Structure 1
Amino acid sequence: MPPNARTEVPRPSQFGIKDFEELVIPTTDGEKLSAYYIRGPRGNRNSDITVLMFHGNAGNIGHRLPIARMIINFIGCNVFMLEYRGYGLSTGEPDESGLYLDAQTALDYLRNRAETSNHKLVVYGQSLGGAVGIKLVAKNQKNGDIAGLVLENTFLSMRKLIPSVIPPARYFTLLCHQVWPSESLISSISVPTLFLSGLQDEIVPPHHMRQLYELSTAPKIWKPLPGGDHNSSVVEEGYFESIADFITSVTGDEKMPRPEKL
């Protein structure tokens, strides 16, 4: 079982969030996925934007509610938080094919839901969630509704990650036999991409993110976070400002800024 996956799941109301829905979404293979749909301010200029959020290996969606709240505060958009199978209150056991099906289920739900069917979507993935997001965007970008991809501290592939993190490989124990070939998929993505890299990451060596950035042929931005480790990058200066600026640039009339260089 993933670390902390089945612990109590905090609810949005515990963080002062009032306009939200707690959802249970069925998958085509019979699992039931827990999710939160959190609305930004109604009538806001970004109320037609939804961030589809994929979290990392540890914990559950409830532990990422402070991040969702910050995104809403900075951008005024909506956030859809998906719980993978085997995590939180979702049924099933996690594996690569299952987590990808979960991600597709979430995207299809937003596309078919009346309230969000015309929304511009931004896929946001942290660590393992970045690998989930890369695979999802690579397959679905031709529909035109995915405006951007935000990646934080993700890896080239699971097989390339494991030799770097033993003994911390226990962090990804259940997923060690999976592939998650992000390095072979990233070059096929044409959707604008923001790369947020914690340069003190002790789980995913920062060169993984840098190589993904270099392999990407999409309009892209490199945002290094000098003091950020694997779990603290979100508190680094400029983290949410970078996401806000990026989403404004990919969903509005402004052109993507030129890629930043080290």
Structure 2
Amino acid sequence: MSCADLCCLFCWPPLPSRIAAKLAFLPPEPTYSLVTSADATTSAADRHGVASPAFQLHLSDRAEFQFSNEDKSRFLDAFLATTANGSTIACMMVSAGAHARSKYTLLFSHGNAVDLGQISSFLIGLARRINMNVFSYDYSGYGASTGRPLEKNLYADIDCAWQQLIGRYNLSPGEIVLYGQSIGTVPTVDLATRVNPAGVVLHSPLLSGLRVAFPDTSRTWFFDAFPNIEKAPRIRSPCLIIHGTEDEVIDFAHGLALHDRLPQPAVEPLWIEGAGHNDIELRQRHHGAAPSAAAGQYVPHEDEGAGARGGGGASMTCRDLCRLFCWPPLPSRIAAKLAFLPPRPTYSLVGDMHSPRFQINPPDMEDPAAAPPAMQLTEDEADCLEAFTANTARGSTIACVLIRTVRSRKGSKYTLLFSHGNAVDLGQMSGFLIDLGRKLNMNVFSYDYSGYGASTGQPLEKNLYADIDCAWQQLIGRYNLSPGEIVLYGQSIGTVPTVDLATRVNPAGVVLHSPLLSGLRVAFPDTSRTWFFDAFPNIEKAPRIHSPCLVIHGTEDEVINIAHGLAIYERLPRSVDPLWVEGAGHNDIELFPQYLLRLRSFLYDELEAMNASIGADADRAVAGGGSTSTTARDKVRGDQS
């Protein structure tokens, strides 16, 4: 994080569009390199007969290339080109070889968090399936491309790629089809308004940066980033929009709204039922089945053209606007607001509010922006779930549930205080929590953050801490549990309140599942210190946790890199052996068998032994003339750190 980055984040003039753009770019570690070949023949010359240097493409193991080296040499032509903004970008022409039947060439702008190395196998497969040559490139700051990943560089990058097709490969505009995926739709839409390609494909497009962060935003502010919604009406080429109905990153409503704004007559869109953000390509209909069956399945509400997840998001108020653009700039608040993604409530608390009944809402079949429906509970499951509301110190009323699954004396003496991840609520989590409690033979208590589910208030960092304080007090006061009978469990963003509470109380143990170091370290992975305005500073608080702590993280986590889990683990005073789940991402760790095995070992074996050791040491300290037993016990905890 350079001085320039710091100034852009915190000093005048505040530039929220720049902050949003920087948070949007997630360039991975390069998975390939381009090396000038001394003995290879020069690659294709441009239309003026000027030959460029030939390059050899070297792919690392992380590229997971699925073809042979002969295929790589035969089908991939890689080279470097210089953009108008001074970046040198990596380009790749993927030949369909003998499979080529179409006169068109696809100009493919890829999604986020990948580079040409990682998508090279996919591009070869795509070229063969659609019988078409495919040209792609890496954005500035991605892969072997130099420069910085900025919005203005996106536009210069695709301009350069377009010019390579026109000049180097002697293609006419009518022989090029633009294809943008996710963040790649941003340069694709922009270029499509300035040239006349044969066609345009927008795969999981976004309306604008602020509409992703603030789904109810109803206008395009002058400082908004990636304003596809304003540019789409100026696309005159035929345009196909493809979007998954269960997209968890860019809501399906973005695709609907863009389709409505395209000049008529628009091409029939492809809405893929059940598909998320990263699995559309796995559906057969993506590669050629007629989309007519899907067209017209969903009709957006009148107000849906502006954003996504309308009921679940935070509307952009005048206060929000001032916080975003006026003095004093508060990037930690911006980062926090971008981090919270409350879904539309999937459950209701009905009846007497002192002892309400937990009821799963039926799925809204007419509303494409609704959250994925929660599983209906069986009668037996509903019987073990006790729901109620409680008031926090900051004035929110939060929904709480206690899941009683312990059926015998062999059950654990501990109760799990579970702080869930983002973009879900208790309705969606209830089935998982009941199953987890039964498999661990342990009662589970959970709650919804302010602004999530049936909880009132706003989803803010300071409210997270008040919410978990309230949940803790319910276990202590309402259920008469002692701190030594409670194990804190935080998942993803839920590790933020979990870590904070664990520094202020003495639970029996702590589980951190896919933890983050801090907000800025997610957005700026090279950040080496904690700035005073950083959000979610787990890295600074972790050394003050003196309870036994288990860290769980997937090695292929695409949201919070495993480096966060490793760094947290190294800073814990009383960590146990961590669980690094090989091949697991951010949302599938629970599907791996070692997850439950490690949890059981921690909860039933290690906690008992470690806490018994602390108790014995504390008793010896008291017998030796120490002060009160409580003080001695706390001292022993501190000494062991």
Alignment TM-score, normalising by the size of structure 1: 0.80
Q: For the structure 1 residues 40 and 161, does the alpha-carbon distance in structure 2 shift closer, same or farther, using more than 3 Å as the test?
A: same
Aligned equivalent of 1:167: none
Kindly indicate whether the alpha-carbon contact (under 8 Å) linking 2:208 and 2:229 is maintained by their aligned counterparts in 1. Answer: yes
Partner of 1:181: 227
Aligned mates of 1:3, 1:15 — CA distance in 2: 24
8 Å contact 2:89–2:138 — kept in the other structure?
yes
State whether residues 49 and 122 of structure 1, in contact with CA within 8 Å, keep that contact through their aligned partners in structure 2: yes
Task: Give the corresponding residue for 2:108.
Answer: 53
* Match of residue 204, structure 1, among 245, 250, 259: 250
| Corresponding residue for residue 295 of structure 2 | 260
Partner AA of 2:101 in structure 1: R
CA distance in 2, matches of 1:118, 1:155: 25
Could you say if the C-alpha distance between residues 55 and 31 of structure 1 is closer, same or farther in structure 2, counting changes exceeding 3 Å?
same
Residue 190 of structure 2, aligned match among 135, 144, 150: 135
Relative distance call for 1:118 and 1:43 in structure 2 (3 A) is farther
- 2:158 maps to what in 1? 103
Q: CA RMSD in A?
A: 2.7
Q: Distance in 1 between matches of 2:109 and 2:26?
A: 16
Asked if residue 7 in structure 1 is aligned to residue 42 in structure 2, the reply is: no
CA–CA separation in structure 2 for the residues paired with 1:44 and 1:90? 28
The number of aligned residues is 234
Say if 1:195 and 1:108 are closer, same or farther in 2 by CA, change over 3 A: same
Q: Is the 8 A contact 1:127 1:155 kept in 2?
A: yes
1:231 matches 2:266: no
Matching of residue 23 in structure 1 with residue 79 in structure 2: yes
Please report how far the alpha carbon of residue 117 of structure 1 lies from its aligned counterpart in structure 2 after TM superposition: 4.7
Measure how far apart 1:55 and its partner are. 0.9
What CA distance in whole angstroms lies between the structure 1 residues aligned with 2:258 and 2:270?
13
Q: Deviations over 1:59-105 (max 9, x none)?
A: 11222223312321222211111100000110010111111000111
CA distance in 2, matches of 1:179, 1:72: 32
Q: Is the 8 A contact 1:5 1:86 kept in 2?
A: no
Q: Amino acid of the residue matched to residue 235 of structure 2?
A: I
Query: C-alpha separation between the residues in 2 aligned to 1:178 and 1:22?
Result: 34
2:136 match: 81
Secondary structure in structure 2 of the residue aligned to 1:261:
coil
Task: Give the number of the structure with larger relative contact order, counting CA–CA contacts within 8 Å between residues 6 or more apart.
Answer: 1
SS in 1 for 2:268: strand
Offset of residue 53 of structure 1: 0.5
Match of 2:200 among 143, 149, 161: 149
Tell me how far apart the structure 1 counterparts of residues 144 and 252 of structure 2 sit (CA, whole Å).
32
Distance 1:119-1:63 versus aligned 2 partners, 3 A rule: farther
Distance in 2 (alpha carbons) for counterparts of 1:119 and 1:68:
22
Q: Is the 8 A contact 2:186 2:226 kept in 1?
A: yes
Mapped to 2, the partners of 1:190 and 1:128 lie a distance apart of 21
Structure 2 spans left out of the alignment, 5+ residues:
1-21, 33-57, 216-222, 298-641
Paired residue for 1:222, among 269, 272, 278? 269
Q: Following the alignment from structure 1 to structure 2, what is the Cα–Cα distance between the partners of residues 220 and 205?
A: 20
Q: Secondary structure of 2:146's partner? A: coil
Alpha-carbon deviations, 1:148-184, whole Å to 9, x = none?
A: 11111111111111124xxxxxxxxxxxx86111111
Question: Do 1:95 and 1:178's aligned partners in 2 also have CA atoms closer than 8 Å?
Answer: no
> Please, which runs of 5 or more residues in structure 1 have no aligned partner?
165-176, 247-256
Aligned mates of 1:227, 1:259 — CA distance in 2 = 12
* Counterparts of 2:81 and 2:268, CA distance in 1: 33
Task: Spell out, residue by residue over 1:180-207, the C-alpha distance to the aligned partner (whole angstroms, 9 max, x if none).
Answer: 1111111111111111111111111110
Distance across 2 between alignment mates of 1:195 and 1:51: 15
Q: Structure 2 length normalisation: TM-score? A: 0.34
1:196-224 CA distances to partner (integer Å, 9 max, x unpaired)? 11111111111011000111114312101
Distance 1:114 1:202, change over 3 A: closer
**TM superposition shift of 1:123:** 0.6
Residues 116-160 of structure 1 show CA distances to partners (whole Å, capped at 9, x for unaligned) of 35771111111110121011111112xxxx111111111111111
Cα deviation, 1:104-123, whole Å, max 9, x if unaligned, reads 11001111124535771111
Task: Pick the structure with greater CA Rg.
Answer: 2
Superposed displacement of residue 237, structure 1: 2.7
**Residue 199 of structure 1 aligns to which amino acid in structure 2?**
T
Separation of aligned partners in 2, 1:23 and 1:78: 16
Work out which of the residue numbers 193, 202, 209 in structure 2 matches 1:158. Answer: 209
Q: CA deviation at 1:240?
A: 1.2
Specify the SS of the correspondent of 1:93: coil
CA contact (8 A) 1:195 1:209 kept: yes
Per-residue deviation, 1:27? 1.2
Percent identity of paired positions between Structure 1 and Structure 2: 24
Query: 1:43-63, CA deviations, whole angstroms, 9 ceiling, x for partnerless residues?
Result: 8432x3210000112111222
Distance of 2:293 and 2:278 partners within structure 1:
28
CA distance in 1, matches of 2:169, 2:251: 41
* Cα distance in 1, alignment partners of residues 109 and 119 from structure 2: 10
